[in-house]
Each structure stands twice: as C-alpha cells, then as structure tokens.
Amino acid sequence: MSGMQAVWPSGTECIAKYNFHGTADQDLPFSKGDVLTIISVTKDPNWYKAKNKVGREGIIPANYVQKREGVKAGTKLSLMPWFHGKITREQAERLLYPPETGLFLVRESTNYPGDYTLCVSCEGKVEHYRIIYSSSKLSIDEEVYFENLMQLVEHYTSDPDGLCTRLIKPKVMEGTVAAQDEFSRGGWSLNMKDLKLLQIIGKGEFGDVMLGDYHGNKVAVKCIKNDATAQAFLAEASVMTQLRHSNLVQMLGVIVEEKGGLYLVTEYMAKGSLVDYLRSRGRSVLGGECLLKFSLDVCEAMAYLEANNFVHRDLAARNVLVSEDNIAKVSDFGLTKEASSTQDTGKLPVKWTAPEALREKKFSTKSDVWSFGILLWEIYSFGRVPYPRIPLKDVVPRVEKGYKMESPDGCPQIVYEVMKKCWTLDPAHRPAFHQLREQLEHIKASELYL
C-alpha cells in the first residue's frame, strides 16, 4: 500500500473517502467528499502534507483519500448503458444469452415505432415488455407512469411490480461505460446530501444554473433534468475531469441521479461573465492594466488547452467568467473536443467563428486563435457586439474578402496589431497561443498598454 502511495506527486488532487477529525495540531481535519491537494509526502509514506480548498495546510492519512483521475479520452459515457437503440428482438435475445435471471436491456420497439421494449432474462427465457409512450409519459402496464426510461428502470430494479422478475443486472451496450461508475472510479462523484441548492443565478436552454453550498463553500451547479440533455452534457463533464488550470473554471464533481438528473458542480465565479462585467463597469472603472490582465488570463488558459490538444470551439467573452478576486477563467466546455474531431456547425456563433470552421467545419487551435482575436476586441470595446453596423448575413462574405474590424476606441495600437494577426485568413499563418502569450507579456512588461 505505502509503496504505491509514494507516487502521488505534488499538486495531485484527491477526494476524501471518510471523515478525518485529526488528533495532533499539525493534522488537517476534513469531511468525506472534501477536495484536497497534495503538497508533499512526509517521511512516513502513509501520511501526506496537503491543503484544502481555503488554503489551510496540514497532515492527512493517505488511505483516507482517493486520487482524482480524469475520464480517459475517447471513453463513451452513458447515463443509460443498458439502452441498445434500434436492435431486433432476435439480437436482444442473443445479447441476453447465456440466460441469467434479472439480466435486462431496453431497445427501440420494432413493431411500434416511438415505443420501447424492455427485454428481461427470466428462468432461461427472455420476456419482452412493450413500453408505451403516450402524452410524453412511459408505461408498461398503463397504471404506473414514468417521465423517462431511467425512472422506469429504477422503479423495476427495486420492485418487479408485475414483471417476471425485478431488474438485477444491466446488459451494457458494447463500447459504452456507465457514467456513474466512471465518475466514481475517478473520484468525481459527489453526494447530493452534501449539496444545498440556494438560488437560481442563470437560465440556460438546458436547465438552470444555481448557486449552491458544498461543505460550506459556494459553488455553481448546472442542473440538467431531462435525460436526453443530460446525456449530451456528459461529454462536457468528462472533458472537465481532464483539465486543470488556474484560468479554467474548475469542476468539483458530478452528481448522477438514478432518475435521470445530472448536476455539474463547479467553482463559483462571483462576478459573472466577462462580457457583463465589462459592460457594467466601462472605461471609467477599468484601466488598460486591467484589460490586459483579462486578455492574458484567457491566453494562459488557451495556451494550456493548446498544449493538451483540446479545441474549445466557443471562445467568447460570454464564456469567460470573473472570480471574486478578478481572475478571468474560461468556461463552457460544451463544444470542447479533442483536437481531431469534427462537429455540426448549425449552432455556431458566426461573428466569433473562424471562416474555415464555418465553411469546412475545420476546427483547430488556430480557429480558437481567431476567436481569441474577437474576444480581445470585445475586451477593448468594453463588451460591444463584434462587427457593429454590419448585418449578420454580410459578416462572412466581407471577412472572406479580407475585411477586419477597426480598432476599438482607445485601444493601444500594439494590442490592435495582435488582434489583426489572429484574423489572418490562412490559419497556418496565425500565431499560436504560446506566441500570443509572449507578445502580451512583452506588452505588459514594457507598459505599452498605457
């Protein structure tokens, strides 16, 4: 045990598996579910020096904590790993062989399009129960109704309620992993009873963002109630487990409800989105030093994503949040993908997206660089909407002919030059984020932003 423990390097995040009250002055007490960061191993490898979220340091027992690990890239997480989609009755029976009472899966109904079928192995044979979908509810016996398949499966897992057996073991679809199991394995699963939801602080198309309290710390919670939407958000959650940087909004954990709800718990950013922050304060409050600091904060985060082969795809001032102590952090990893994948461009924000990404769906770090140039323009215009006075339909044709926005009023020429480099039409000739960071650091060091 201790031999394995010694490999946790400084900076490793872990989550507490038990409560630890501490007996000596140098101990760091914690509660089950607290997130701690390892500082160093002590002379005794069974004990670590660690710090908690508020920065208090002390000694902790190694076997009371679990190391946090990101979801492996490429893992397909599912809230409904027992759902096999469009397969036939025969295929379902083959999947449930050899028979094992209580082994089950759900498929789309072949005879009744729009309905589902619950297939259960029971005493050597497979029973097929039609799940009727009517007036947006699901039912097998038309006596008990459910909002979604997860609720239905949860009900029959605890009680056979007229079926030949209760549902005991899901037949997991090949290539998928149960989301709950994967988040637990990596130390990302939080307990609902440790979380208090206080008030709504934002409304998204997917559900509410709420201010919460987790073990006495303020947190932000994305609450996604609909099971289909929740499934889509798993990709964002799994990306967030792989990323750790002081200028990225940090995920603290995930709660997967058996009834189909999903809660993403992140650090709370008290001052809201950067675009609102800029608009509400304006140039009388925010000086050049502050604008450059925000620009550098975002550039640091993007250089980190670039180095780790992640493409954000939706970089804009509305997706950057500001903390209590005025640090800008990139958020909203809903579209973030590993650099190699492509995506549907239907919902892309035209004014922020690089021309090659709109036209050919070519996303890369270099298309993020284009968006970063637009974000710099937003910062230096105090939150104005880009391409003012140009109708949306004309933006792309004009940009493709080489049009670039004019410098915002009062923006230092040297910063405007950085924006223009980001808007080079040929992606290969745009700077990389690590180069942009150097340029911005040079501007800061030589106080050229004044």
Residue 2, pLDDT score: 39
Q: Are 119 and 85 in contact (CB under 8 A)?
A: no
Q: Where are the beta strands (DSSP E) in 62-216?
A: 65-67, 76-78, 103-108, 116-122, 125-134, 137-139, 169-170, 176-178, 195-203, 208-214
Q: In 3D, which of 397, 339, 329 has the Cα closest to residue 368?
A: 339
pLDDT digits (tens, 9 = 90+) for 55-104: 999 999 999 999 999 998 888 999 999 999 999 999 999 999 999 999 99
Domain 75-170 annotated CATH 3.30.505.10: yes
Structure-derived torsion over alpha carbons of residues 273, 279, 281, 284, reported in degrees to the nearest 10: 140
- Largest Cα separation within the chain, whole Å, is 79
Write down the catalytic residue from 34, 227, 297, 314: 314
Q: Are 376 and 316 in contact (CB under 8 A)?
A: no
Q: Are 48 and 59 in contact (CB under 8 A)?
A: yes
Residue 1, pLDDT score: 38
123 to 87, 105, 162: CA distances (angstroms):
23, 16, 16
The token duo for 24 is: 């000596």
Q: In 3D, which of 106, 8, 102 has the Cα closest to residue 60?
A: 8
178 to 28, 75, 100, 181, 278: CA distances (angstroms):
34, 10, 20, 5, 42
Q: Is 187 left (phi over 0), alpha (psi -120 to 50) or beta?
A: left
The domain 12-67 is classified under which CATH number: 3.30.70.100, 3.40.50.300, 2.40.10.10, 2.30.30.40? 2.30.30.40
Q: In 3D, which of 52, 169, 174 has the Cα closest to residue 101?
A: 169
SS3 content of the chain, % helix, strand, coil (to 5): 30, 25, 45
Domain 272-446 annotated CATH 1.10.443.10: no
Q: Where do the structural domains in the chain lie, given as residue ranges?
A: 12-67, 75-170, 191-267, 272-446
**What is 191-267's CATH superfamily?**
Phosphorylase Kinase; domain 1 (3.30.200.20)
Show the CA angle centred on residue 254, arms to residues 311 and 260, nearest 5°. 105
pLDDT averages per 10-residue partition of the chain, 450 residues? 59 93 95 93 91 93 94 89 94 95 95 93 96 91 92 94 96 92 93 94 85 94 84 87 94 88 94 96 93 98 96 95 97 72 64 94 94 98 96 95 96 97 98 98 85
Known binding positions: 222
pTM for this predicted structure? 0.86
Known binding positions for ATP: 222
Secondary structure, 3-state, 161-193: CCCCCCCCEECCCCCEEEHHHHHHHCCCECCHH
Average pLDDT, the chain: 92
Residue 338, pLDDT score: 63
Residue 335, pLDDT score: 72
Q: What is the DSSP letter of 342?
A: -
Q: In 3D, which of 376, 247, 377 has the Cα closest to residue 302?
A: 247
Query: Are 12-67 and 272-446 the same fold in CATH?
Result: no
Residue 155, pLDDT score: 95
Q: What is the DSSP letter of 54?
A: T
Instruction: Please confirm, yes or no, whether 44 is among the known catalytic residues.
Output: no
